[in-house]
Structure 1
Protein backbone atom coordinates (compact mmCIF):
# COMPACT_ATOMS: atom_id res chain seq x y z
CA UNK A 1 0.00 0.00 0.00
CA UNK A 2 1.48 3.36 -0.97
CA UNK A 3 1.52 6.59 1.02
CA UNK A 4 -1.62 8.08 -0.49
CA UNK A 5 -3.61 4.93 0.25
CA UNK A 6 -2.28 4.90 3.81
CA UNK A 7 -3.24 8.54 4.24
CA UNK A 8 -6.64 7.82 2.79
CA UNK A 9 -7.71 4.89 4.92
CA UNK A 10 -11.11 5.36 6.52
CA UNK A 11 -11.71 8.76 4.87
CA UNK A 12 -14.83 7.74 2.94
CA UNK A 13 -17.34 9.82 4.95
CA UNK A 14 -19.16 12.57 3.03
CA UNK A 15 -18.38 16.22 3.77
CA UNK A 16 -20.99 18.94 3.32
CA UNK A 17 -20.91 19.79 -0.39
CA UNK A 18 -20.74 23.21 -1.97
CA UNK A 19 -24.43 24.19 -2.42
CA UNK A 20 -25.53 24.80 -6.01
CA UNK A 21 -28.37 27.13 -5.09
CA UNK A 22 -26.15 29.90 -3.79
CA UNK A 23 -23.96 29.76 -6.87
CA UNK A 24 -26.82 29.85 -9.38
CA UNK A 25 -28.71 32.58 -7.52
CA UNK A 26 -25.62 34.76 -7.41
CA UNK A 27 -25.35 34.95 -11.18
CA UNK A 28 -29.00 35.57 -12.06
CA UNK A 29 -29.71 38.93 -13.74
CA UNK A 30 -26.19 39.41 -15.01
CA UNK A 31 -26.85 41.32 -18.22
CA UNK A 32 -23.52 41.22 -19.96
CA UNK A 33 -23.23 38.57 -22.71
CA UNK A 34 -20.13 36.50 -21.83
CA UNK A 35 -17.57 35.98 -24.54
CA UNK A 36 -15.98 32.59 -25.18
CA UNK A 37 -12.24 32.98 -25.45
CA UNK A 38 -9.51 30.53 -26.33
CA UNK A 39 -9.03 28.12 -23.44
CA UNK A 40 -5.23 28.23 -23.67
CA UNK A 41 -3.24 31.43 -24.00
CA UNK A 42 0.35 30.31 -24.33
CA UNK A 43 1.98 33.37 -22.82
CA UNK A 44 -0.10 32.85 -19.65
CA UNK A 45 0.70 29.18 -19.11
CA UNK A 46 2.16 28.64 -15.67
CA UNK A 47 0.87 31.88 -14.17
CA UNK A 48 -0.97 31.52 -10.86
CA UNK A 49 -4.66 30.61 -11.09
CA UNK A 50 -5.05 30.43 -7.30
CA UNK A 51 -2.93 31.99 -4.57
CA UNK A 52 -3.67 31.52 -0.88
CA UNK A 53 -1.07 32.88 1.53
CA UNK A 54 -1.57 32.59 5.29
CA UNK A 55 -5.35 32.61 4.91
CA UNK A 56 -7.72 31.83 7.79
CA UNK A 57 -11.04 30.23 6.79
CA UNK A 58 -14.09 30.71 8.99
CA UNK A 59 -17.56 29.11 8.90
CA UNK A 60 -20.05 31.13 10.98
CA UNK A 61 -17.24 32.69 13.04
CA UNK A 62 -15.73 29.25 13.71
CA UNK A 63 -12.13 28.86 12.52
CA UNK A 64 -11.99 25.86 10.17
CA UNK A 65 -8.44 26.22 8.81
CA UNK A 66 -5.68 28.63 9.70
CA UNK A 67 -2.63 29.87 7.82
CA UNK A 68 -3.61 28.14 4.57
CA UNK A 69 -0.95 28.64 1.91
CA UNK A 70 -0.67 27.16 -1.58
CA UNK A 71 -0.45 28.27 -5.19
CA UNK A 72 -2.07 26.50 -8.15
CA UNK A 73 -0.79 27.47 -11.57
CA UNK A 74 -2.77 27.65 -14.78
CA UNK A 75 -3.07 24.23 -16.40
CA UNK A 76 -2.39 22.26 -13.20
CA UNK A 77 -4.49 19.31 -12.04
CA UNK A 78 -4.55 19.16 -8.24
CA UNK A 79 -6.24 16.73 -5.85
CA UNK A 80 -7.42 17.93 -2.42
CA UNK A 81 -7.84 15.15 0.13
CA UNK A 82 -8.53 14.92 3.86
CA UNK A 83 -10.89 13.58 6.48
CA UNK A 84 -14.49 14.74 6.77
CA UNK A 85 -14.66 18.12 8.49
CA UNK A 86 -11.05 19.08 7.81
CA UNK A 87 -12.04 21.93 5.49
CA UNK A 88 -11.89 20.65 1.90
CA UNK A 89 -15.29 22.03 0.93
CA UNK A 90 -14.53 25.20 2.89
CA UNK A 91 -11.57 25.84 0.61
CA UNK A 92 -13.84 25.51 -2.44
CA UNK A 93 -16.38 27.85 -0.84
CA UNK A 94 -13.62 30.36 -0.17
CA UNK A 95 -12.57 30.25 -3.84
CA UNK A 96 -16.22 30.80 -4.84
CA UNK A 97 -16.36 33.83 -2.50
CA UNK A 98 -19.01 32.13 -0.37
CA UNK A 99 -16.75 32.48 2.66
CA UNK A 100 -14.69 35.56 3.53
CA UNK A 101 -10.94 35.53 2.94
CA UNK A 102 -8.88 36.75 5.88
CA UNK A 103 -5.12 36.69 5.64
CA UNK A 104 -2.11 37.91 3.74
CA UNK A 105 -3.22 37.11 0.16
CA UNK A 106 -6.16 35.34 -1.50
CA UNK A 107 -6.53 35.34 -5.29
CA UNK A 108 -8.68 33.20 -7.58
CA UNK A 109 -8.98 33.56 -11.37
CA UNK A 110 -7.58 37.07 -11.21
CA UNK A 111 -9.92 38.29 -8.45
CA UNK A 112 -8.72 39.52 -5.05
CA UNK A 113 -10.91 37.51 -2.67
CA UNK A 114 -10.08 39.79 0.25
CA UNK A 115 -11.44 42.88 -1.52
CA UNK A 116 -14.07 41.50 -3.91
CA UNK A 117 -17.40 43.36 -3.85
CA UNK A 118 -20.70 41.49 -3.89
CA UNK A 119 -21.55 42.85 -7.35
CA UNK A 120 -18.31 41.36 -8.74
CA UNK A 121 -18.85 37.84 -7.39
CA UNK A 122 -20.97 36.72 -10.40
CA UNK A 123 -18.07 37.67 -12.69
CA UNK A 124 -15.67 35.59 -10.60
CA UNK A 125 -18.02 32.63 -10.77
CA UNK A 126 -18.26 32.86 -14.55
CA UNK A 127 -14.58 31.92 -14.54
CA UNK A 128 -15.19 28.89 -12.33
CA UNK A 129 -16.89 25.64 -13.32
CA UNK A 130 -18.29 23.65 -10.38
CA UNK A 131 -19.01 19.91 -10.43
CA UNK A 132 -21.10 18.43 -7.61
CA UNK A 133 -21.26 14.89 -6.24
CA UNK A 134 -25.07 14.78 -6.38
CA UNK A 135 -25.43 16.25 -9.90
CA UNK A 136 -27.89 19.11 -9.04
CA UNK A 137 -29.76 18.68 -12.34
CA UNK A 138 -33.33 19.97 -12.79
CA UNK A 139 -35.49 16.84 -12.94
CA UNK A 140 -38.25 18.39 -15.06
CA UNK A 141 -35.90 19.63 -17.78
CA UNK A 142 -34.03 17.78 -20.52
CA UNK A 143 -30.24 17.77 -20.68
CA UNK A 144 -30.31 20.59 -23.23
CA UNK A 145 -32.82 22.59 -21.17
CA UNK A 146 -30.66 22.16 -18.05
CA UNK A 147 -27.66 23.60 -19.86
CA UNK A 148 -29.66 26.42 -21.45
CA UNK A 149 -31.00 27.34 -17.98
CA UNK A 150 -27.42 27.54 -16.69
CA UNK A 151 -26.42 29.77 -19.61
CA UNK A 152 -29.38 32.09 -19.04
CA UNK A 153 -28.47 32.32 -15.35
CA UNK A 154 -25.02 33.57 -16.34
CA UNK A 155 -26.26 36.23 -18.72
CA UNK A 156 -26.59 34.51 -22.09
CA UNK A 157 -29.57 35.63 -24.19
CA UNK A 158 -29.22 34.75 -27.89
CA UNK A 159 -31.01 31.44 -28.55
CA UNK A 160 -28.88 30.16 -31.44
CA UNK A 161 -25.65 31.04 -29.66
CA UNK A 162 -26.81 29.14 -26.56
CA UNK A 163 -27.81 26.08 -28.59
CA UNK A 164 -24.44 26.06 -30.36
CA UNK A 165 -22.57 26.27 -27.06
CA UNK A 166 -24.67 23.47 -25.52
CA UNK A 167 -23.82 21.18 -28.44
CA UNK A 168 -20.13 22.08 -28.14
CA UNK A 169 -19.87 21.12 -24.48
CA UNK A 170 -21.97 17.97 -24.91
CA UNK A 171 -19.53 16.86 -27.61
CA UNK A 172 -16.64 17.46 -25.21
CA UNK A 173 -18.14 14.95 -22.76
CA UNK A 174 -19.42 12.54 -25.45
CA UNK A 175 -23.09 13.24 -24.69
CA UNK A 176 -24.13 15.02 -27.90
CA UNK A 177 -26.83 12.41 -28.67
CA UNK A 178 -28.46 12.70 -25.21
CA UNK A 179 -29.65 16.31 -25.23
CA UNK A 180 -33.33 15.35 -25.47
CA UNK A 181 -33.26 13.01 -22.45
CA UNK A 182 -34.34 13.80 -18.89
CA UNK A 183 -32.01 13.17 -15.92
CA UNK A 184 -33.98 10.10 -14.76
CA UNK A 185 -33.36 8.52 -18.17
CA UNK A 186 -29.59 8.73 -17.72
CA UNK A 187 -27.16 6.57 -15.75
CA UNK A 188 -25.21 8.11 -12.88
CA UNK A 189 -22.14 8.41 -15.07
CA UNK A 190 -24.12 10.11 -17.83
CA UNK A 191 -25.63 12.58 -15.36
CA UNK A 192 -22.17 13.44 -14.10
CA UNK A 193 -20.99 13.98 -17.68
CA UNK A 194 -23.83 16.47 -18.08
CA UNK A 195 -22.62 18.19 -14.90
CA UNK A 196 -19.12 18.42 -16.36
CA UNK A 197 -20.62 19.87 -19.56
CA UNK A 198 -22.47 22.43 -17.43
CA UNK A 199 -19.21 23.34 -15.70
CA UNK A 200 -17.59 23.95 -19.10
CA UNK A 201 -20.32 26.22 -20.50
CA UNK A 202 -18.57 29.52 -19.78
CA UNK A 203 -15.14 28.17 -20.73
CA UNK A 204 -13.93 28.44 -17.12
CA UNK A 205 -10.38 29.19 -16.08
CA UNK A 206 -10.73 26.71 -13.21
CA UNK A 207 -12.89 23.64 -12.56
CA UNK A 208 -13.72 22.99 -8.89
CA UNK A 209 -14.88 19.38 -8.48
CA UNK A 210 -16.41 18.40 -5.14
CA UNK A 211 -16.29 14.58 -4.85
CA UNK A 212 -17.45 14.17 -8.48
CA UNK A 213 -17.18 10.37 -8.47
CA UNK A 214 -18.57 9.76 -4.98
CA UNK A 215 -21.83 8.21 -6.24
CA UNK A 216 -20.37 6.26 -9.16
CA UNK A 217 -19.31 2.65 -9.64
CA UNK A 218 -15.54 2.01 -10.08
CA UNK A 219 -15.60 1.68 -13.88
CA UNK A 220 -17.67 4.84 -14.39
CA UNK A 221 -15.57 6.72 -11.83
CA UNK A 222 -12.42 5.85 -13.78
CA UNK A 223 -14.03 7.07 -17.02
CA UNK A 224 -14.85 10.39 -15.33
CA UNK A 225 -11.29 10.76 -13.99
CA UNK A 226 -10.00 10.11 -17.49
CA UNK A 227 -12.38 12.68 -18.96
CA UNK A 228 -11.34 15.40 -16.50
CA UNK A 229 -7.65 14.69 -17.11
CA UNK A 230 -8.25 14.79 -20.88
CA UNK A 231 -9.98 18.17 -20.57
CA UNK A 232 -7.10 19.42 -18.45
CA UNK A 233 -4.50 18.34 -21.01
CA UNK A 234 -6.38 19.31 -24.16
CA UNK A 235 -7.90 22.62 -23.05
CA UNK A 236 -5.39 23.70 -20.43
CA UNK A 237 -8.20 24.03 -17.88
CA UNK A 238 -6.99 24.16 -14.28
CA UNK A 239 -8.67 21.50 -12.10
CA UNK A 240 -8.94 21.34 -8.30
CA UNK A 241 -10.69 18.13 -7.24
CA UNK A 242 -11.78 17.08 -3.74
CA UNK A 243 -11.83 13.29 -3.71
CA UNK A 244 -11.57 10.19 -1.55
CA UNK A 245 -10.91 7.87 -4.49
CA UNK A 246 -7.34 6.91 -3.66
CA UNK A 247 -7.27 4.03 -6.13
CA UNK A 248 -7.79 6.48 -8.99
CA UNK A 249 -5.43 9.06 -7.51
CA UNK A 250 -2.78 6.35 -7.71
CA UNK A 251 -3.70 5.59 -11.33
CA UNK A 252 -4.00 9.21 -12.50
CA UNK A 253 -1.02 10.62 -10.63
CA UNK A 254 -0.97 14.37 -10.11
CA UNK A 255 -0.12 16.93 -7.46
CA UNK A 256 -1.97 16.19 -4.21
CA UNK A 257 -2.68 18.49 -1.27
CA UNK A 258 -3.68 16.66 1.93
CA UNK A 259 -5.33 18.37 4.89
CA UNK A 260 -4.26 16.61 8.07
CA UNK A 261 -4.47 17.86 11.67
CA UNK A 262 -5.12 21.40 10.47
CA UNK A 263 -2.04 21.45 8.22
CA UNK A 264 -1.63 21.13 4.45
CA UNK A 265 0.78 18.53 3.09
CA UNK A 266 1.65 19.11 -0.58
CA UNK A 267 3.30 16.62 -2.94
CA UNK A 268 4.23 19.44 -5.39
CA UNK A 269 4.74 17.00 -8.28
Structure 2
Protein backbone atom coordinates (compact mmCIF):
# COMPACT_ATOMS: atom_id res chain seq x y z
CA UNK A 1 0.00 0.00 0.00
CA UNK A 2 1.13 3.54 -0.71
CA UNK A 3 1.54 6.21 1.92
CA UNK A 4 -1.65 8.27 2.07
CA UNK A 5 0.25 11.56 2.36
CA UNK A 6 3.23 11.36 -0.01
CA UNK A 7 1.83 8.57 -2.21
CA UNK A 8 5.09 6.62 -2.23
CA UNK A 9 5.26 2.83 -2.06
CA UNK A 10 6.86 2.55 1.37
CA UNK A 11 6.56 0.42 4.46
CA UNK A 12 3.63 1.88 6.37
CA UNK A 13 3.66 2.68 10.06
CA UNK A 14 0.87 2.22 12.58
CA UNK A 15 -0.43 5.76 12.42
CA UNK A 16 -2.47 7.38 15.17
CA UNK A 17 -5.51 9.39 14.18
CA UNK A 18 -5.65 11.25 17.49
CA UNK A 19 -2.03 12.09 18.44
CA UNK A 20 -0.53 9.59 20.84
CA UNK A 21 0.53 12.24 23.35
CA UNK A 22 -3.12 13.25 23.79
CA UNK A 23 -4.10 9.68 24.57
CA UNK A 24 -1.14 9.22 26.89
CA UNK A 25 -2.25 12.27 28.86
CA UNK A 26 -5.77 10.86 29.22
CA UNK A 27 -4.49 7.53 30.50
CA UNK A 28 -2.42 9.30 33.17
CA UNK A 29 -0.18 6.31 33.70
CA UNK A 30 -2.93 3.70 33.35
CA UNK A 31 -2.84 1.11 30.60
CA UNK A 32 -6.49 1.47 29.62
CA UNK A 33 -9.44 3.84 29.45
CA UNK A 34 -13.12 3.23 30.10
CA UNK A 35 -15.18 3.28 26.91
CA UNK A 36 -18.81 4.42 27.12
CA UNK A 37 -21.27 4.24 24.21
CA UNK A 38 -24.24 6.62 24.25
CA UNK A 39 -26.99 4.04 23.91
CA UNK A 40 -29.24 2.00 26.18
CA UNK A 41 -27.61 -1.41 25.82
CA UNK A 42 -23.81 -1.28 25.45
CA UNK A 43 -22.02 -1.98 28.70
CA UNK A 44 -18.97 0.21 29.52
CA UNK A 45 -15.70 -1.61 29.02
CA UNK A 46 -12.01 -1.05 29.48
CA UNK A 47 -10.12 -0.65 26.22
CA UNK A 48 -6.60 0.16 25.11
CA UNK A 49 -8.00 3.25 23.34
CA UNK A 50 -5.00 3.58 21.07
CA UNK A 51 -6.64 3.50 17.62
CA UNK A 52 -4.09 3.32 14.83
CA UNK A 53 -3.70 1.73 11.41
CA UNK A 54 -1.37 1.50 8.42
CA UNK A 55 -1.63 4.94 6.79
CA UNK A 56 1.67 6.78 6.57
CA UNK A 57 5.31 6.01 5.88
CA UNK A 58 7.96 6.73 8.50
CA UNK A 59 9.06 9.91 6.75
CA UNK A 60 5.53 11.37 6.71
CA UNK A 61 4.95 10.32 10.31
CA UNK A 62 8.05 12.28 11.27
CA UNK A 63 6.95 15.19 9.08
CA UNK A 64 3.63 15.49 10.93
CA UNK A 65 5.36 15.18 14.28
CA UNK A 66 8.03 17.79 13.59
CA UNK A 67 5.85 20.34 11.81
CA UNK A 68 2.54 20.07 13.63
CA UNK A 69 2.19 17.70 16.57
CA UNK A 70 5.09 18.92 18.68
CA UNK A 71 3.52 22.38 18.75
CA UNK A 72 -0.14 21.40 18.58
CA UNK A 73 -0.20 18.92 21.45
CA UNK A 74 1.82 21.16 23.77
CA UNK A 75 0.04 24.45 23.16
CA UNK A 76 -2.69 24.07 25.79
CA UNK A 77 -0.37 22.38 28.27
CA UNK A 78 2.10 25.24 28.46
CA UNK A 79 1.77 28.03 31.02
CA UNK A 80 4.11 30.39 29.18
CA UNK A 81 2.31 33.42 27.73
CA UNK A 82 -1.04 32.22 29.11
CA UNK A 83 -3.58 34.40 30.89
CA UNK A 84 -6.67 32.86 32.47
CA UNK A 85 -9.89 34.69 33.33
CA UNK A 86 -13.42 33.58 34.17
CA UNK A 87 -14.53 34.00 30.56
CA UNK A 88 -11.55 32.95 28.46
CA UNK A 89 -7.98 31.70 28.25
CA UNK A 90 -5.57 34.00 26.42
CA UNK A 91 -2.54 32.68 24.55
CA UNK A 92 0.33 34.87 23.36
CA UNK A 93 2.83 33.91 20.68
CA UNK A 94 0.18 31.84 18.89
CA UNK A 95 1.27 30.20 15.62
CA UNK A 96 -1.94 30.21 13.63
CA UNK A 97 -1.05 28.31 10.44
CA UNK A 98 0.88 25.66 12.34
CA UNK A 99 -1.94 25.01 14.80
CA UNK A 100 -4.71 25.24 12.20
CA UNK A 101 -3.00 22.64 10.00
CA UNK A 102 -2.31 20.48 13.05
CA UNK A 103 -6.08 20.26 13.63
CA UNK A 104 -6.69 19.81 9.89
CA UNK A 105 -4.28 16.86 9.93
CA UNK A 106 -6.44 15.17 12.58
CA UNK A 107 -9.61 15.73 10.52
CA UNK A 108 -7.86 14.42 7.39
CA UNK A 109 -6.60 11.29 9.15
CA UNK A 110 -10.05 10.66 10.61
CA UNK A 111 -11.60 10.93 7.15
CA UNK A 112 -9.23 8.48 5.46
CA UNK A 113 -9.32 6.08 8.41
CA UNK A 114 -11.17 2.79 8.17
CA UNK A 115 -11.49 2.46 11.95
CA UNK A 116 -14.96 2.31 13.47
CA UNK A 117 -14.20 5.15 15.91
CA UNK A 118 -13.95 7.58 13.01
CA UNK A 119 -16.73 6.29 10.78
CA UNK A 120 -18.65 9.56 11.29
CA UNK A 121 -16.02 11.51 9.36
CA UNK A 122 -16.35 11.11 5.61
CA UNK A 123 -15.11 13.93 3.40
CA UNK A 124 -15.20 13.88 -0.37
CA UNK A 125 -12.02 12.57 -1.99
CA UNK A 126 -11.41 15.98 -3.56
CA UNK A 127 -11.52 17.62 -0.15
CA UNK A 128 -9.22 14.96 1.31
CA UNK A 129 -6.78 15.69 -1.50
CA UNK A 130 -6.91 19.46 -0.83
CA UNK A 131 -6.26 18.87 2.87
CA UNK A 132 -3.34 16.54 2.15
CA UNK A 133 -1.79 19.11 -0.21
CA UNK A 134 -2.15 21.89 2.37
CA UNK A 135 -0.57 19.70 5.03
CA UNK A 136 2.37 18.77 2.78
CA UNK A 137 2.92 22.36 1.64
CA UNK A 138 2.52 23.78 5.16
CA UNK A 139 0.20 26.39 3.69
CA UNK A 140 -3.50 27.25 3.89
CA UNK A 141 -3.50 29.25 0.64
CA UNK A 142 -5.61 27.71 -2.15
CA UNK A 143 -5.67 30.56 -4.66
CA UNK A 144 -4.58 34.17 -4.75
CA UNK A 145 -7.59 35.39 -2.77
CA UNK A 146 -8.85 32.17 -1.18
CA UNK A 147 -7.57 30.19 1.79
CA UNK A 148 -8.53 26.84 3.22
CA UNK A 149 -9.80 28.51 6.38
CA UNK A 150 -12.42 30.37 4.32
CA UNK A 151 -14.18 27.05 3.80
CA UNK A 152 -13.20 25.10 6.90
CA UNK A 153 -13.41 27.29 9.97
CA UNK A 154 -12.09 25.81 13.18
CA UNK A 155 -13.34 26.80 16.62
CA UNK A 156 -11.80 25.89 19.96
CA UNK A 157 -13.80 26.17 23.18
CA UNK A 158 -12.76 25.40 26.75
CA UNK A 159 -15.56 23.39 28.36
CA UNK A 160 -16.32 24.23 31.99
CA UNK A 161 -19.17 23.47 34.38
CA UNK A 162 -20.52 25.69 37.14
CA UNK A 163 -24.09 24.40 36.99
CA UNK A 164 -24.19 20.64 37.53
CA UNK A 165 -21.09 19.92 39.57
CA UNK A 166 -18.90 18.16 36.99
CA UNK A 167 -15.34 18.82 38.12
CA UNK A 168 -12.72 20.24 35.80
CA UNK A 169 -10.64 17.13 36.42
CA UNK A 170 -13.43 14.97 35.03
CA UNK A 171 -13.99 17.26 32.04
CA UNK A 172 -10.30 17.12 31.15
CA UNK A 173 -10.23 13.32 31.46
CA UNK A 174 -12.94 12.68 28.84
CA UNK A 175 -12.34 12.02 25.15
CA UNK A 176 -15.41 12.44 22.97
CA UNK A 177 -14.85 10.84 19.58
CA UNK A 178 -15.89 12.63 16.42
CA UNK A 179 -19.52 13.62 16.10
CA UNK A 180 -21.24 15.33 13.20
CA UNK A 181 -24.12 17.79 12.82
CA UNK A 182 -25.68 18.74 9.49
CA UNK A 183 -27.12 22.15 8.70
CA UNK A 184 -30.73 22.58 7.67
CA UNK A 185 -29.68 23.36 4.09
CA UNK A 186 -26.65 22.55 1.94
CA UNK A 187 -25.54 26.17 2.26
CA UNK A 188 -25.48 25.81 6.04
CA UNK A 189 -22.84 23.13 5.67
CA UNK A 190 -21.92 20.72 8.47
CA UNK A 191 -19.88 20.51 11.65
CA UNK A 192 -17.49 17.81 12.79
CA UNK A 193 -16.38 18.00 16.39
CA UNK A 194 -14.43 16.12 19.03
CA UNK A 195 -13.35 16.87 22.59
CA UNK A 196 -9.99 16.25 24.21
CA UNK A 197 -8.33 17.52 27.42
CA UNK A 198 -11.28 19.82 28.17
CA UNK A 199 -11.23 21.53 24.76
CA UNK A 200 -14.01 21.14 22.20
CA UNK A 201 -12.69 21.31 18.64
CA UNK A 202 -15.21 22.15 15.92
CA UNK A 203 -14.71 22.06 12.15
CA UNK A 204 -17.33 24.12 10.31
CA UNK A 205 -17.52 23.18 6.63
CA UNK A 206 -19.53 25.50 4.40
CA UNK A 207 -19.79 26.62 0.80
CA UNK A 208 -21.05 30.01 -0.31
CA UNK A 209 -21.10 31.61 -3.75
CA UNK A 210 -20.57 35.07 -2.29
CA UNK A 211 -16.80 35.56 -1.89
CA UNK A 212 -17.33 38.43 0.56
CA UNK A 213 -19.50 36.24 2.79
CA UNK A 214 -16.91 33.46 2.61
CA UNK A 215 -14.21 35.78 3.91
CA UNK A 216 -16.23 37.51 6.62
CA UNK A 217 -18.13 34.65 8.29
CA UNK A 218 -17.22 34.13 11.93
CA UNK A 219 -18.17 31.54 14.55
CA UNK A 220 -17.79 31.50 18.32
CA UNK A 221 -14.27 30.55 19.33
CA UNK A 222 -12.99 30.67 15.76
CA UNK A 223 -9.23 30.54 15.44
CA UNK A 224 -7.87 33.71 13.85
CA UNK A 225 -4.53 34.55 12.32
CA UNK A 226 -3.13 36.57 15.21
CA UNK A 227 -0.28 36.05 17.63
CA UNK A 228 -2.69 36.58 20.54
CA UNK A 229 -5.91 34.56 20.76
CA UNK A 230 -8.64 34.12 23.34
CA UNK A 231 -10.26 30.70 23.80
CA UNK A 232 -13.77 31.24 25.24
CA UNK A 233 -14.94 29.22 28.21
CA UNK A 234 -18.36 27.66 27.55
CA UNK A 235 -20.66 25.97 30.04
CA UNK A 236 -21.14 22.24 29.55
CA UNK A 237 -24.91 22.67 29.77
CA UNK A 238 -24.84 25.06 26.80
CA UNK A 239 -23.37 22.37 24.54
CA UNK A 240 -26.23 19.98 23.83
CA UNK A 241 -24.37 17.03 22.28
CA UNK A 242 -21.45 17.24 24.71
CA UNK A 243 -23.79 17.54 27.68
CA UNK A 244 -25.73 14.46 26.52
CA UNK A 245 -22.45 12.58 26.32
CA UNK A 246 -21.57 13.45 29.90
CA UNK A 247 -25.06 12.46 31.04
CA UNK A 248 -24.59 9.06 29.40
CA UNK A 249 -21.24 8.62 31.14
CA UNK A 250 -22.78 9.48 34.52
CA UNK A 251 -25.78 7.21 34.00
CA UNK A 252 -23.68 4.22 33.02
CA UNK A 253 -21.18 4.81 35.82
CA UNK A 254 -24.10 4.35 38.23
CA UNK A 255 -25.57 1.27 36.57
CA UNK A 256 -22.18 -0.33 35.77
CA UNK A 257 -19.62 0.81 38.38
CA UNK A 258 -15.99 0.05 37.46
Category of TM-score, reference length = shorter chain? under 0.3
Q: Which has more radius of gyration? A: 2
Q: Structure 1-normalised TM-score?
A: 0.26
Bigger RCO of structures 1 and 2 (CA < 8 A, at least 6 apart): 1
